[in-house]
Structure 1
Amino acid sequence: MGSLFSLMAGYPNPSAVHFPTTSAFPKRRVNGDRQSTLSLEEFVRMRCPSVLSEFKPAWWLWNGDMQTLYSVLGNFTKVDTVTYARTHLRLKDGGTIGLDFTPVEQESIREDAPIIVVLHGLTGGSYEAYVRGVLYPACKPVEQGGLGYRAVVVNYRGCAGVPLTSPQLYSAGHTDDIRQALMYIAHTYPKAPLVGVGFSLGANVLIRYLGEEGTSSRLLTGCALACPWNLSKNSNALSSTFIGRHVYSRGMGSNLLNLLKKHIPALTGDPSSPTAVAVTKALQLRRPTLQEFDGAITRLLGGSSPPFPFETAEDYYAWGASDKIIGDVKVPLLTVNAGDDPVVQEVPMLAGGNSSTVVVVTPHGGHLGWFESTSFNDVTRWITRPVLEWLRAAVEDLDMRTDPAQLYVDDNGFLCQRDREDLGCKVTHEFKGKVIQGANVKTSGVLQGL
């Protein structure tokens, strides 16, 4: 990816940045004044200077492997502490997703405060330090130096303590679960602008959702961090090196297998069913690579039918890639990858010609790392600043409007969307009076940071 940095000639920092040449978003009206337009490059230069600032990795985390491994092995339990109130949503297909809301006490927050909707990584959840690193400052009260926003983390089926109530899992390409989560959030907070942040697998889901929805998106802007983009190319690149295959790929595959083991009863109730047969076979794997797990399970159970099941993992990768749909995104989008990311090595720098997207590749940062020094031994995540600047500026400066489908409640109590009668959700459990500690709901046996 070193050739990408040549695109930044003339900039004072070594990150590669691609601005669309034909982007123009209306500025928000002030006192009824006539609107003008603002290019994304002007927007970034004026309101998001951290996007163009130099990221300097902590001296002892000098390369992508060190950054990535620290994200996985570091102790973040006392950093950026966030508490959540959880709501379980039952979906029409029988599945369950978990929405973690923060702050828990929301009465003092204005009803039109922006809401950050977060999609976590491969086997993570709201407990992840990279999630809390963004939400802690975003959801602090303004008088304490925060943005005063709300946030909702969408925990995928079976992740972070969410029960598995159907034989379907999740994947990098399946977007209906986030679509239904957004239906509920928009219905619950009708006056609040919704903005999205996705990490790794969640970034891929975010981009696919934005591309599929176009001008009907319920999210008015988004940030996609460490997106895997072309799943096939990045899977092959990951498997092409010893450390890629035997450390990262097997680490992610083992994470998925350990997560699967926690839901065996839900998946094998009928031992003769195709799902139970596939799960039983997958449980015989020992430290599978990511591709081996995807070939055994994700291609079969990673989404609704159609298009699932797929014949091979490669077929699933070809379908689930986000690089082929980035050109259809119609809302302003910031994507950030690291040039030394050992997990993601292929980035569509020109964003498929999309006029709504800014693509940034920092020279360092690893996979979901971006750790910089604050003192000799202490570190913080650089990525938090550009994300918060982008979200705040987009809400305050840009007159962003979309036209999402209307919602209604059907006779069975499901919240539904007019153009997708197959979708629907309703609350099955709210943990009222209970607080989920953001650092303490980690799924045992599953490595953090991925």
Structure 2
Amino acid sequence: MPILESTYKPPFFFKNGFIATVYSGLFRSVSLKQDRERITLSDGDFLDLDWSYSKEKSKALIILLHGLEGHGQRPYMTGTAKHFNTNGIDAICVNFRGCSGENNLYYRSYHSGFTDDLQAVIQHAISKKGYTKIYLKGISLGANIILKYLGEHSNIPEEVKAGVAVSVPVDLHGSCKELHKLKNKPFHDRFLKDLVTHLKEKQLRFPNELSLNAVKNIKTLIEFDNVYTSKAHGFKDALDYYEKCSSLQFLPNIKIPALIINALNDSFLSPECYPVKEAKQTPDVYLEMPNHGGHAGFIAKNNLYYNEIRALEFCSKFSK
């Protein structure tokens, strides 16, 4: 599809990508009542799903996937859920394995290309809950999962109508290299601290899988992916993981409407993360590249974010 012209105009102070990113991650607050449901997966592990509902009974549902080290109560999740609830659509904020406040059962957990759990949630929503219209939205890591899912599967349920991917690192290695640059050191170090803290907990539970010394020697995100993410999930190393799980290669196969919103001042994204060629050559891939927004920082008015407004607009076009 043609590249979409963005109409996003942030408040003056939030034109700075760093400020927009930090404010959205640390200071935004959204009030939303959620009900938690735990589902058992085919391998015996579990997922915690945080549900919120529209006032009227609905057969339409949006499934939301968070980013690295996120969870179902992050404002970028609840903000979207609340906006869709207000407009007659139920929502699930998915907590990836180990992200709901309780450790998952196995050494493995989640990663940027693991689509099996998304597929399980979709099937649960259709077969157990009876939803007939399902929309998907992800932020960052969760967005990569959605695009990969839409492009790698040929048997996507007909109930899945559209997908939205926001601040998505479609080239994982490129994004990783950006995160290791000096400009992103505060973000890199925050991610790494949280990841290593959780990995130490895993090491205590699975000492035969990983030594404490190996964990202590992790100094960068790529080292984390070399030591844990790749090995725990069947990849040779971090580069093999990035290569096989980047959604960029799956975009040409997408046959369900998918909107990508990547800000041009997102410091997490490399040039390869703006898939202009793929969007122009793929009828169902829509690419919007606002000048501003940082990483998931599309601040608008009344505590609504531009990407949340656009997600509802886009999904509503494919509601039949």
Q: Fold-level match, TM-score > 0.5?
A: yes
Equivalent of 1:157 in 97, 100, 104: 97
> How do 1:362-381 and structure 2 match up within 5 A?
362-372=290-300, 374=301, 380-381=304-305
Letter in 2 for 1:368: A
CA distance in 2, matches of 1:284, 1:166: 21
Match of 1:177 in 2: 117
> How do 1:400-439 and structure 2 match up within 5 A?
none
CA distance in 2, matches of 1:365, 1:289: 26
Asked if 2 retains the 8 angstrom alpha-carbon contact of 1:95 and 1:168, the reply is: no
Secondary structure of the structure 2 residue equivalent to 1:204: helix
TM superposition score normalised by structure 1: 0.66
Match of 1:202 in 2: 142
Q: Deviation at 1:348?
A: 1.0
> How do 1:52-201 and structure 2 match up within 5 A?
52-74=5-27, 76-77=28-29, 80-103=30-53, 109-112=56-59, 114-140=60-86, 147-201=87-141
Q: Deviation at 1:284?
A: 0.8
CA distance in 1, matches of 2:265, 2:228: 29
Q: Structure 1: which 5+ runs fail to align?
A: 1-17, 21-50, 141-146, 400-450
Match of 2:314 in 1: 390
Q: Deviation at 1:87?
A: 1.4
Identity, in percent, stands at 26
Q: Alpha-carbon deviations, 1:327-354, whole Å to 9, x = none? A: 1111111110000001112311122622
Q: Alpha-carbon deviations, 1:104-159, whole Å to 9, x = none? A: xx7x63352x100111111111111111221112112xxxxxx1111111110000
Q: Alpha-carbon deviations, 1:195-244, whole Å to 9, x = none? A: 100110000000111112235245221101111001112212332x3122
Asked if 2 retains the 8 angstrom alpha-carbon contact of 1:118 and 1:152, the reply is: yes
Asked if 1 retains the 8 angstrom alpha-carbon contact of 2:32 and 2:82, the reply is: yes
Asked if 2 retains the 8 angstrom alpha-carbon contact of 1:252 and 1:289, the reply is: no
CA distance in 1, matches of 2:6, 2:242: 34
Match of 2:215 in 1: 283
Asked if 2 retains the 8 angstrom alpha-carbon contact of 1:248 and 1:343, the reply is: no
Asked if 2 retains the 8 angstrom alpha-carbon contact of 1:253 and 1:292, the reply is: no
Change (3 A) 1:327 1:128: same
Match of 1:343 in 2: 268
Asked if 2 retains the 8 angstrom alpha-carbon contact of 1:215 and 1:330, the reply is: no
Change (3 A) 1:57 1:191: closer
CA distance in 1, matches of 2:136, 2:202: 29
Asked if 1 retains the 8 angstrom alpha-carbon contact of 2:81 and 2:92, the reply is: no
Q: Structure 2: which 5+ runs fail to align?
A: none
Structure of greater Rg: 1
Asked if 2 retains the 8 angstrom alpha-carbon contact of 1:121 and 1:202, the reply is: yes
Change (3 A) 1:318 1:110: same
CA distance in 2, matches of 1:100, 1:298: 25
Q: Alpha-carbon deviations, 1:356-390, whole Å to 9, x = none? A: 11111111110010123x4xxx7642222111111
CA distance in 2, matches of 1:282, 1:198: 32
Asked if 2 retains the 8 angstrom alpha-carbon contact of 1:299 and 1:311, the reply is: yes
Q: Alpha-carbon deviations, 1:56-114, whole Å to 9, x = none? A: 2222223211111212222x33xx311211111222323221111112xx7x63352x1
Change (3 A) 1:67 1:111: closer
Match of 1:300 in 2: 231
CA distance in 2, matches of 1:127, 1:63: 25
Q: Deviation at 1:393?
A: 2.1
TM superposition score normalised by structure 2: 0.91
Equivalent of 2:171 in 226, 230, 247: 230
Letter in 1 for 2:284: S
Letter in 2 for 1:291: I
CA distance in 2, matches of 1:386, 1:333: 12
Asked if 2 retains the 8 angstrom alpha-carbon contact of 1:254 and 1:289, the reply is: no
Letter in 1 for 2:2: F
Alignment coverage as a number of residue pairs: 316
Moved more, 212-221 or 228-237: 212-221
Secondary structure of the structure 2 residue equivalent to 1:198: strand
Secondary structure of the structure 2 residue equivalent to 1:221: strand
Asked if 2 retains the 8 angstrom alpha-carbon contact of 1:282 and 1:293, the reply is: no
CA distance in 2, matches of 1:379, 1:367: 17
Is it true that 1:219 corresponds to 2:143 in the alignment? no
Letter in 2 for 1:284: K
Secondary structure of the structure 2 residue equivalent to 1:394: coil
Q: Deviation at 1:264?
A: 4.5
Q: CA RMSD in A?
A: 2.1
Is it true that 1:257 corresponds to 2:184 in the alignment? no
Is it true that 1:354 corresponds to 2:282 in the alignment? yes
Change (3 A) 1:232 1:394: same
Secondary structure of the structure 2 residue equivalent to 1:355: coil
Q: Deviation at 1:262?
A: 4.4
Letter in 1 for 2:119: R
